[in-house]
Amino acid sequence: MANFNFNKVILGGRLTADPELKTTPSGISVTSFTVAVNRNYRSKSGEEPQADFLNVTAWRQTAEFITRYFRKASSICVVGSIQTRSWTDQNGQKRFATEIVADEAFFVDAKSESPLAVQQAAAGYQAAAQAPSYVPDGYSGMGNSAGAGSYQNTTAPKFEDLSDDEELPF
């Protein structure tokens, strides 16, 4: 039998409070927050759907991104994994916690549903995320004379046009 281990979580919901950025003694950014996720069913009596309140922890750049662009009641999509931990409290009782460790976070709300400041900040973040951060010096065709990341004198690769009647070359 194959050894199959898979732990991936994708959840979407709303933050229950403003996330707060903290720093460990070694200088690593971290934030912990709770996401309210509605269950996908209604009870037979027609009452409002119930929600699960899931604890999420994010580290480093993901933590910085979340605390910068998300606020209480913001919709968020989190991708990560479930982790459990245990410890003994001050009274000698064994305690357990289960939480999601976020690897990625995404905007969910349409721009029209987000506050203007968040829209502007998100636009700047997305532009920076799409900008190239590295181009190898030896990469031909990129006109890299101004250094890595420069796209001056860029030329597109040349492809040979094939008619529909010709065979593919592979």
Pick the CATH number of 9-38+49-134 from 3.30.1600.10, 3.10.20.30, 2.40.50.140, 3.20.20.450: 2.40.50.140
User: pTM (2 decimals)?
Assistant: 0.62
How much is the pLDDT for 162? 59
pLDDT digits (tens, 9 = 90+) for 15-27: 999 999 999 999 9
pLDDT at 122 over 90: no
pLDDT digits (tens, 9 = 90+) for 58-82: 999 999 999 999 999 999 999 999 9
81 Cβ neighbours under 8 A, 6+ residues apart? 7, 8, 9, 100, 101, 103
- The candidate with the shortest Cα–Cα distance to 83, out of 70, 66, 96, is 96
What integer best gives the mean pLDDT of the chain?
78
What does the alpha-carbon distance between residue 86 and residue 93 come to, in Å, rounded to a whole number? 10
Domain boundaries, the chain: 9-38+49-134
pLDDT at 6 over 80: yes
Average pLDDT over residues 89-108: 95
pLDDT digits (tens, 9 = 90+) for 142-157: 444 444 444 445 555 6
What does the alpha-carbon distance between residue 79 and residue 62 come to, in Å, rounded to a whole number? 11
Looking only at the bridges linking them, the beta strands covering 29-38 and 51-59 are antiparallel
98 Cβ neighbours under 8 A, 6+ residues apart? 55, 82, 83, 84
Q: How many CA atoms lie within 13 A of 139 on its CB side?
A: 16
Measured N-to-C along each axis, helices 60-69 and 116-130 cross at an angle, to the nearest 10 degrees, of 150
How much is the pLDDT for 40? 77
How much is the pLDDT for 109? 80
